[in-house]
Amino acid sequence: MDIHTLRKALDTPRKIVIIPHLKPDGDAMGSSLGLYHFLIQLNHLVTVITPTDYPAFLKWMPGKKTVEIYPFKKPKCERLIRDAEFIFCLDFNDISRIEPLDKIVGDATGTKIMIDHHTNPVPFEDIQYCDVTASSTCELIFRLLFDEWKEEKYMNQDIAACLYTGIMTDTGSFRFNSTTPDVHRIASRLMETGIAAHTIHEKVYDNFSENRLKLLGYCLLNCLRVVPEKQAAYFVIPKWVTEEYSMEAGDTEGIVNYALSIKGIRFATLMLEDEDRVKLSFRGKEGYVVNVFARNFQGGGHIYASGGKSFLSLAETEQKFLTLLHQTE
Ligand code: 5GP
Ligand code: MN
């Protein structure tokens, strides 16, 4: 099946689930809900299922009532996935990125459609609509619905607000080098629906809890280390710190970027001690490719934004990181 046959299949009402990656970000939620607002206009039965909870600063998005968070509604979500005729897999290209739903989705019989912009796919899908040069999965949803399928008559403010959110967050508010003229064309078309783009920015970025800001302050002061000779800087955040500041989903998002804002730094890392693992985030710029480095930590991602994990202790993870860092050119 290709995307045009898929469109024909969607002429008949279907049972559909949409699944973003775990710990969904603005692009994962924006693309899922943007697609949701299109599909419900075609009279499909659609549910967005997230593998884990998602940040409070995204919970204003239109359609949030349709979102089922798997850990809170396991039997219902499992039934919906089992019964689904179509399973849209958004903003990931490796089924391990939807843990703990990986096995359930892997075993499901519905047609799986992967829409994504990450490198190094580990194929599991039946249909794919992927482009690693795209700024975001939201950009790809726009291109699929409005450029390929020409569904202009279904454009509305709900779709626009969701897609705008993901494009804005994945481009760092239109400043990363993924911000092409086409990104601005799409943003412009979305704004023409009458959505207040500046309000979306405020809802996402001026929505910190007091604890989140204090957590950031603590990390900047106490958890940041700089390795000038490697043009690198990194955060090491022990679990007790995030507990002390009652961390919620999404609270550490963006902290890694502060390391990259230091003059002369081209490689930034964040090591966050979690329940059973250390979660790593990598960011690069000016030719410092990070997704290859991320493979040392069972990870991957984009050239300049990647992630990974380590099952060593936090101190051992830092040591491993430093050893690898000193081996780089
Ligand atoms: P973040 O640092 O925000 O968690 O992730 C940055 C980017 O790296 C995201 O685009 C995400 O898809 C990718 N990424 C994060 N963690 C992993 C991982 O464990 N494996 C892979 N393959 N990619 C990851
Ligand atoms: Mn994305």
Say how far apart CA 99 and CA 104 lie, in whole Å. 10
Structural contact between residues 165 and 191, judged by C-beta atoms closer than 8 angstroms: no
- Mean of the pLDDT values across residues 157-172? 98
Minimum CA distance residue for ligand 1 atom 19: 308
141 pocket-lining for ligand 1 (C-beta < 6 Å): no
What pLDDT, in 10s, does the model give residues 220-232?
999 999 999 999 9
Tell me the torsion sign for CA atoms 154, 156, 158, 164.
Answer: positive
91 alpha carbon, closest ligand: 2
Is residue 249's pLDDT more than 90? no
pLDDT tier at 208 (50, 70, 90 boundaries)? confident
For residue 91, the ligand 1 atom closest to its alpha carbon is 12
Task: Name the residue among 233, 225, 268, 270 with its Cα closest to residue 251.
Answer: 270
Say how far apart CA 19 and CA 320 lie, in whole Å. 34
Residue 89 CA: distances (Å) to CA of 73, 96, 166, 212, 312: 19, 12, 15, 30, 30
Amino acid at 105: V
Task: Name the residue among 298, 278, 276, 281 with its Cα closest to residue 233.
Answer: 281
What pLDDT, in 10s, does the model give residues 71-92?
999 999 999 999 999 999 999 9
44 pocket-lining for ligand 1 (C-beta < 6 Å): no
pLDDT tier at 250 (50, 70, 90 boundaries)? confident
Fold classification of 210-327 is Diaminopimelate Epimerase; Chain A, domain 1 (3.10.310)
Tokens of 37: 């607002």
Q: Which residues contact 329 (CB under 8 A, 6 or more apart)?
A: none
Task: Name the CA radius of gyration of the chain, rounded.
Answer: 20
20 pocket-lining for ligand 1 (C-beta < 6 Å): no
Helices and strands in the chain: count of H runs, count of E runs: 13, 12
Structural contact between residues 53 and 69, judged by C-beta atoms closer than 8 angstroms: yes
% of the chain exceeding 70 in pLDDT: 100
Round the average pLDDT of the chain to a whole number and report it: 96
Task: Name the residue among 154, 218, 181, 163 with its Cα closest to residue 7.
Answer: 154
The alpha helices in the chain, defined as continuous H runs, are 3-9, 26-39, 74-83, 102-107, 137-142, 157-170, 181-191, 197-205, 210-222, 239-244, 255-260, 291-294, 314-327
Q: State in Å: Cα 293 to ligand 2 middle.
A: 19
pLDDT tier at 329 (50, 70, 90 boundaries)? confident
Say how far apart CA 289 and CA 248 lie, in whole Å. 30
Label residue 289 exposed, middle or buried (CB < 10 Å: 0-12, 13-18, 19+): middle
Residues of the chain with CATH 3.90.1640.10: 3-205
Strand partners, 236: 271
pLDDT tier at 293 (50, 70, 90 boundaries)? very high
Q: State in Å: Cα 307 to ligand 1 middle.
A: 4
First to last CA, the chain: 45
- What confidence score (pLDDT) does residue 219 get? 98
Q: State in Å: Cα 315 to ligand 2 middle.
A: 30
- What confidence score (pLDDT) does residue 306 get? 94
What pLDDT, in 10s, does the model give residues 4-22?
999 999 999 999 999 999 9
Q: State in Å: Cα 52 to ligand 2 middle.
A: 16
Structural domain 3-205, CATH architecture: Alpha-Beta Complex (3.90)
Neighbours of 167 (CB within 10 A): 31
- What confidence score (pLDDT) does residue 248 get? 87
Is residue 157's pLDDT more than 90? yes
Residues of the chain with CATH 3.10.310.30: 210-327
The DSSP secondary structure of 60-75, one letter per residue, reads TSTTGGGEEEGGGSHH
283 pocket-lining for ligand 1 (C-beta < 6 Å): no
What pLDDT, in 10s, does the model give residues 16-65?
999 999 999 999 999 999 999 999 999 999 999 999 999 999 999 999 99
- What confidence score (pLDDT) does residue 226 get? 98
Which H/E stretch holds residue 193? none
For residue 299, the ligand 1 atom closest to its alpha carbon is 20
Q: What is the pTM of this model?
A: 0.93
